[in-house]
Structure 1
Amino acid sequence: MEFRLIYEGPLRGQGAKSTHKWEIRRALHPQLQRLWQLRPLETLADSLLAYPPRPDKVSVIVEKGGLHFAPLVTQRLNLYVELSVLLFRQQPRGTLITDGGDIDNRLKTLLDGLRVPHGSLEGRKTLPDEPDPDPMFCLLEDDSLVTKVSVESEQLLRPARPDEVVAIISVHVKKTVLTHSNMSL
C-alpha cells in the first residue's frame, strides 16, 4: 500500500521535547481518517477500528490516558513502513544547521508526530481548548516500525517563518507476514 501525506506548518528540531508533535498529529489526522474511508481500508475499518475489540478480531485502537488512537501501521497487523520525505524549508540546500533546527532533529520531531504518543500528555503542558478527535488517526503505532527513511531537502520559495515547512511524506506500507487481517493492504 502506497500513499502520500502532506504537512504544512512549524517543524522545530526539539525532538522528544517538542511541544508541537500534537500539532503535527492534528494536521495529519484528517488525511489519515480519509484514507480509512477508501479502498482497501474501508472494507477492514469495521473490525480494525472496533473498541473494545470484537472477539477473535484484530483491532488497531490504542488507548493512552483515556484517549483513543487508530494507527495504520501496527505490529498487530504485521506491518512496517518505509518513508520518503520531501522537505521544503526556508533555508537553501546544504544549510543543515539553521534557526529552525538541524534537519535530523526536525525529522525526529516529524516521526514522533506520525506515531501514537507515549502518553496522553506527551509533549503537551495543557489540554487543548478543542478536544482531540476520537479516535485520532495516526500513521504509526510506534516509530520503531519505520525501517527506512530518505529525506530530500528543497528551498521553500514562498514567504514563511524560518521554522515553517511543507513536507510531502511518501508512505510505503509493507508486511512482515501475510495474514488474513493484512491481506488486502
Structure 2
Amino acid sequence: MEFRLLYEGPLHGQGAKAPHKWEIRRALHPQLQQLWRAPPLKDVADTLLAFPARAGQASVVMEKDGLRFAPLVTRTLDLYAEISVLLFRQQPRGTLITDGGDIDNRLKTLLDGLRIPRGANEGRQERPDVPDPAPFFCLLEDDSLVTKVTVESEQLLRPAQPDEVLAVISVHVKKTRLTPQNMAI
C-alpha cells in the first residue's frame, strides 16, 4: 500500500519539544482518518478499529492513559514502512546542516510526530482547546517500524517563517509476513 501525506507548518530541529510533535500528529490526523475511510482500509476498518478487539480478531486501537490511538503500521498487523520525504524549506539547496538546515534533527521530529506518543500525554496540552479525536489516527505504532528513510530538500519559494516547511511524505507500507488481518492492506 502506498500513499502520501502533506505537512505544512513549523518543523523544529534540535531540541524540538514534545508539544511540537503533538501539533504534527494533530495536523496529520485528518489525512490518516480519510485514508481509513477509503479502500482498501475501508473494507477492514470495522474489524481493525474495534475497541476492545472482537473475539478472535486483531485491532490496531491502543489505549494510553485514557486516550485511544489507531496507528496503521503496527506489529499486530506485521507491517513496516518505508518513508520518503520531499522537504520544502526556506534555506537554499546545499545548506543541509547549517543556516537552519538541520535536516537530521528535523527528520527525527517529523518521525516522532508520525508515531503514537510513548505516553498518552507526551507533549499534550493539559487542557487542549480542541478535544482529542477518538481514535486518534497516527501512521506508526513506533518509529522503529520504519526500515528505510530518504529525504530530498528543496527551497520553498514563498514567504515563510525560517522553520516553516512543506513536507510531502510518501509512505510505502509493507508486510513482514502475510496474515489474514493484513491481506487487504
TM range, smaller chain = over 0.9
Following superposition, the deviation at residue 82 of structure 1 comes to 0.1
Answer yes or no: is the 8 Å Cα contact 1:14–1:101 preserved in 2. no
1:112-151 matches, within 5 Å, as 112-124=112-124, 126-151=126-151
Q: Please give the per-residue CA displacement for 1:16-50, whole angstroms capped at 9, x wherever unaligned.
A: 63421111101100000000011000010001000
Alignment match, 2:87: 87
Match of 1:20, SS state, is helix
1:13-162 matches, within 5 Å, as 13-14=13-14, 17-98=17-98, 100=100, 102-124=102-124, 126-162=126-162
Answer yes or no: is the 8 Å Cα contact 2:91–2:99 preserved in 1. no
Answer yes or no: is the 8 Å Cα contact 1:48–1:58 preserved in 2. yes
Provide the TM-score with structure 1 as the length reference.
Answer: 0.96
Match of 2:58, SS state, is coil
Sequence identity, in percent?
75
Q: Which runs of 5+ in 2 are unaligned?
A: none
- Code of the aligned partner of 1:36: W
Provide the TM-score with structure 2 as the length reference.
Answer: 0.96
In structure 2, distance between residues paired with 1:110 and 1:97: 16
Question: Stretches of 4+ moved more than 4 A in 1?
Answer: 98-101
